[in-house]
């Protein structure tokens, strides 16, 4: 009688192998192979910490009590221990109409994200150690003005447009 063991290596399992864990192709960000033809960006919570403030997420959301109160706090301590970034994104999508309206009211326009930026912000939102580093010093002056104007009875749209121009015309 011959006994054999069949070893199956899936692309998901291959992500643990050093050679296939990350790659740089044509100047693109390192990504992990999840399934044939699908790539998931490497999530960087340190970059996400900076983006959370610079993109203006902090105007409505808070972390460690820093930020606005118009939307749910995003402290890692309130998150489930295991994170599925697609679930997080699906929850954002479900609330997108209201969130976009608030962004337009608070920031003057909808926040625009690349896939990498969103991945990094999600990593930050779920990383308690990285959140310990988050302070008001992370919040750019133009965003701080929006936070402080909230306590003064509203936001100035001219100030919001100036904020956009100060950031090289990029969406906030």
CA distance 18 to 112: 33
Q: What is the pTM of this model?
A: 0.67
pLDDT per residue over 129-145, tens digit each?
999 999 999 999 999 98
The 10s digit of each residue's pLDDT in 74-131 is 999 999 999 899 999 999 999 899 999 988 988 889 999 999 999 999 999 999 999 9
For the chain, the residue count is 172
Q: What local confidence, expressed as pLDDT, does residue 37 receive?
A: 86
> Which region, left, alpha or beta, applies to residue 138 given φ > 0 means left and ψ of -120 to 50 means alpha?
alpha
Alpha carbon of 147 to those of 34, 58, 65, 78, 130: distances in Å?
39, 8, 12, 23, 22
Domains in the chain, CATH or no CATH each: 1-42 (no CATH), 43-166 (1.10.760)
Average pLDDT over all residues of the chain: 76
């Amino acid at each position: 009688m011959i006994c054999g063991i069949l070893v199956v290596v899936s692309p998901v399992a291959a992500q643990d192998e050093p050679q296939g864990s990350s790659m740089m192709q044509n100047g693109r960000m390192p990504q992990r192979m999840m399934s044939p033809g699908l790539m998931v960006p490497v999530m960087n919570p340190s970059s996400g910490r900076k983006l959370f403030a610079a993109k203006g997420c902090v105007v409505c959301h808070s972390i460690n009590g820093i930020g606005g109160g118009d939307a749910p706090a995003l402290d890692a301590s309130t998150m489930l221990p295991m994170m599925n970034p697609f679930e997080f994104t699906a929850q954002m999508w479900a609330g997108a109409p209201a969130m976009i309206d608030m962004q337009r009211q608070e920031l003057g326009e909808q926040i625009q994200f690349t896939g990498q930026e969103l991945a990094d912000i999600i990593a930050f939102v779920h990383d308690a150690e990285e959140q310990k580093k988050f302070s008001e010093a992370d919040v750019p002056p133009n965003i701080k003005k929006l936070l402080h104007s909230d306590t003064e009875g509203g936001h100035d749209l001219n100030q919001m447009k100036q904020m956009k121009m100060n950031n090289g015309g990029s969406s906030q």
